[in-house]
Amino acid sequence: MLQASATRSAFLFYFRRSIMSLFGGGNSSAGAEQPAISALSIQTAGFGVAMQICWGTNRVSPTLGYTSNFIATPHQSSGGGKMGGGSGGSTTYTYSSTILMFVCEGEIRNFGKVWKDKDIYADISAAGFTFSKTGTYPQTNWGFLDTNHPTEALAYNGTALVAASGYALSGSATLGNHSTEVAGRCLSATDTDQNYTDAHIRDVLSDFLTNPHFGAIDAKTAVLTLDTDRMHDYCQACGFLISPVLSSQKPAHEYLTEWATVANAGIVWSEGKLKFIPYADESFTGNGVTFTADNTIRYAFDDDNIAEPIKPKRKKSIDAFNSVPFECLDRANDYNKFADSAKDQASIEQPGVGLRPASTMVLDCICLPGIAIQIAHIQLVRGLYIRNEYTIQTWCDADLLEPLDFISITDVGLGLNAARCRITAIEDDQEGKLTITAEEAPEGVYNG
């Protein structure tokens, strides 16, 4: 009985409202009123995320660090019936708040464009931000907080940030998706320098490992010496620079491996130094810099100086990939993803071969697709034309060798006559015997 009564009441209410609206009748309370939202809607996905680090110039998504002064502003619209009667209307709200957003570790050079949802702004001022800091040590507080919330005013030393009071929110009181172009760490202030927009890999490596505030190596417990001079010459001559953003936590060696791949270099710990040694075996000059390859044969192996017969190993044809897909960012297209492949068409067209793609190289540290295609091509050539590997067991008179050194192998049974090879790994045992793994090293292949 109660349910039937409620149904009739609801029917009469909607019937009367429909009739009155048709003729303009009814009071203002019949107008639709949007309930006000009481606070900024904050996504918890950003809680506990690591502070990002940006080298070079890239697009960075900031994290909300502080908010206060949430305001819901009502807007009344008048209503009216079709015949001139009635005053029904509606109330809607716009929202604003004081916000401060952490962008990345400082010190950076400056901020560039801002993306807010689907809109693009020329700079942070055009996007509505009235305060920013580049992340110096130290840096000053935001004056607005000093005046209005002095107990909450912090300098956030070493953190690049943007802020605004009365910042416009969405109709659902959310902040929206923000990102900004950051001219970050390890950049020159001189616009004619090679590293004005992108950073030298050498500088990124040093900052990543030894920075006193966020470096991977604690200077209080260890001293790290880097050897990157020859790699730096090679990268300068090639124009290989990077703009990485560290936005998630992963082992440091994964970043080092990615950047070494871009530099066409191997990583070797030797003589108390972390060395980044270029694979390139051809000397050349580019961008006003000369790279001089070191092709010295450090040791010649033959039947007289090996402990056991040399063991060969050849990579399977199916693992000789003739296509290297890659992804990078495209600065000219708002730092969106760019995808392509480096291919060896001659290999693909061989009878019975066809397309054999490798795993996709992810090169988010590169924002120029023209550079990424060169890196992918170097990896393509190395993987396709370096297929033979040799294991050598010898004694410690060769103990001064280190990975990436060139050696020669003479072995009649294997058909090798002073064949040039490159060491990839060295192990020693308690008896003083060395096990050396080396790959064939045909000239020119390492340059791509």
Domain span at residue 60 reads: 47-74+92-185
Is there a contact between 293 and 446 (Cβ–Cβ < 8 Å)? Answer: no
Write down the pLDDT at residue 82. Answer: 53
Write down the pLDDT at residue 21. Answer: 34
Instruction: Give yes or no: residues 285 and 301 share one domain.
Output: no
Write down the pLDDT at residue 11. Answer: 34
| Residue 240 to residues 230, 257, 309, 338, 365, Cα–Cα distance (Å) | 13, 15, 41, 17, 11
Cβ-based burial of 346 (10 A; exposed 0-12, middle 13-18, buried ≥19): exposed
Write down the pLDDT at residue 397. Answer: 77
End-to-end Cα distance, the chain: 86
79 lies in some domain: no
Instruction: Give yes or no: residues 406 and 310 share one domain.
Output: yes
CA angle 40, 42, 48 (to 5 degrees): 145
Write down the pLDDT at residue 43. Answer: 63
Instruction: Give yes or no: residues 211 and 280 share one domain.
Output: yes
Q: Which residue has the tokens 């400056």?
A: 110
Write down the pLDDT at residue 80. Answer: 56
Instruction: Give yes or no: residues 213 and 338 share one domain.
Output: no
Instruction: Give yes or no: residues 278 and 316 share one domain.
Output: no
Instruction: Give yes or no: residues 120 and 144 share one domain.
Output: yes
Instruction: Give yes or no: residues 322 and 396 share one domain.
Output: yes
Write down the pLDDT at residue 39. Answer: 80
Instruction: Give yes or no: residues 359 and 313 share one domain.
Output: yes
Strands 361-363 and 273-278: unpaired
Q: How many domains does the chain have?
A: 3
Instruction: Give yes or no: residues 345 and 417 share one domain.
Output: yes
Write down the pLDDT at residue 23. Answer: 33
- Residue-level pLDDT, tens digit, the chain, 448 residues: 434 443 334 333 333 333 233 333 444 444 556 677 878 877 655 566 789 999 999 999 999 999 999 999 998 887 655 554 555 678 889 999 999 999 999 999 999 999 999 999 999 999 999 999 999 999 999 999 999 999 999 999 999 999 999 999 988 889 999 999 999 999 999 999 999 999 999 999 999 999 999 999 988 888 899 999 999 999 999 999 999 999 988 999 999 999 999 999 999 999 999 999 999 999 999 999 999 999 999 999 999 999 999 999 999 989 999 999 999 999 999 999 999 999 999 999 999 999 999 999 999 999 999 999 999 999 999 999 999 999 999 987 777 899 999 999 999 999 999 999 999 999 988 788 899 999 999 998 988 6
One-letter amino acid identity for 146?
D
Write down the pLDDT at residue 448. Answer: 64
Write down the pLDDT at residue 60. Answer: 98
